[in-house]
Amino acid sequence: MTWLITGGAGYIGAHVARAMSGAGERVVVLDDLSTGVAGRLPAEIPLVRGSLLDRDAVDGVLAEHEVTGVVHLAAKKQVGESVEQPLRYYWENLHGLTVLLDAVVAAGVGRFLFSSSAAVYGVPDVELITEETPAVPINPYGETKLAGEWLVRATGKAHGIATGCLRYFNVAGAARPELADTGVFNIIPMFFDRISRGEAPRVFGDDYPTPDGTGVRDYIHVADLADAHLAAARRLAERPGAGDLTLNIGRGVGVSVRELADLVAEVTGHRTPPVIEARRPGDAAKAVASVELIARELGWTATRDVRDMVASAWEGWQAQHRPAPVG
């Protein structure tokens, strides 16, 4: 089999591409490098620079590399930006997906894994979010992920393609410093950004109905997430033909923002206490995955803890922000 990994030069995609290639799968990456970094990929993984929105580029890579399965990660992913620019998000994430699926059908590709998100659930008031929890996204980003799942499943059903929709919870950490997330959109890089400038990390809301009053989330190490993709891809490869596997990917363990801030202080040695600010609209009190289904279906469970995530992300942050040598 040859797997096309769209968005494979991105933060998560590069981990997925390396994990799959390292496990002996043949992979090729299609990425427009809009947020991706070519240097995240080793020389043995071919990188085709092009956009999903360019049908000729997609047809070209599918044919030239005799692709038999797709792992689709390329997307725009910033919630706030999606609220300001919904048309751009719908165009990039859903029109892009339509172009890709149409090309996949035309080329007779039989497996398709889609990078979805816990954002499809919105803010459910439940202890653990299962795959049966109603999906009620509250921003355009989450809507594009939910509608993306619909497109993927309907296309799979109509054309006999084995599909999987992987709903990631809060992704963090890095397998190697050079693969770390370069954006400052998630909580851990946001904490690093503040403390590196000598400012107090910001915590939004300490009056939630949670044990310490701060929001509780489920963090998953990106290297564990990559291993889950490998397991899911192999499952689809064993099981050609129609059928869908929609799975949460998390640890099933809640960590509060305050606990995370304490861990960041411990790992980095920057001990300025956080400042408490008002709640942000749209933030749930708690979002923790039920991970029973993925364990049962794929025999996969996460192995890395939050300390690994913070420590590896900090190494990556320091590597990215090291001053250039003089002379």
Ligand X SMILES: NC(=O)c1ccc[n+]([C@@H]2O[C@H](COP(=O)([O-])OP(=O)(O)OC[C@H]3O[C@@H](n4cnc5c(N)ncnc54)[C@H](O)[C@@H]3O)[C@@H](O)[C@H]2O)c1
Nearer to ligand X, 67 or 324 (CB): 67
Residue corresponding to tokens 């003089």: 326
The answer to whether residues 70 and 233 touch, using CB atoms and an 8 Å cutoff, is: no
Alpha-carbon distance of 188 to 310, in angstroms, equals 7
Tokens in use for 35?
């947020």
Q: Which of 141, 122, 164, 147 is nearest to 249 (CA)?
A: 164
Bridge partners for 220 per DSSP: 171
Alpha-carbon distance of 75 to 78, in angstroms, equals 10
Strand locations in 24-145, DSSP E?
A: 26-31, 47-49, 69-72, 111-117
Neighbours of 305 (CB within 10 A): 17
Neighbours of 133 (CB within 10 A): 17
Nearer to ligand X, 85 or 239 (CB): 85
Residue corresponding to tokens 């689809």: 236
Neighbours of 320 (CB within 10 A): 14
Angle at 219 between CA 218 and CA 222, to 5 degrees: 145
Nearer to ligand X, 83 or 276 (CB): 83
Chain centroid to Cα 232, Å, comes to 15
Nearer to ligand X, 95 or 271 (CB): 95
The answer to whether residues 66 and 116 touch, using CB atoms and an 8 Å cutoff, is: no
Considering 141, 168, 208, 219, which one is annotated as catalytic?
Answer: 141
Nearer to ligand X, 242 or 320 (CB): 320
Nearer to ligand X, 12 or 216 (CB): 12
3-class secondary-structure state, position 270 = coil
Nearer to ligand X, 31 or 149 (CB): 31
What residues line the site for ligand X (CB under 6 A)? 6-7, 9-13, 30-36, 51-53, 73-75, 77, 92, 96, 115, 117, 168, 170-171, 186
Alpha-carbon distance of 47 to 41, in angstroms, equals 8
Catalytic residue flag (residue 121)? no
Alpha-carbon distance of 16 to 229, in angstroms, equals 7
Q: Which positions are catalytic?
A: 141
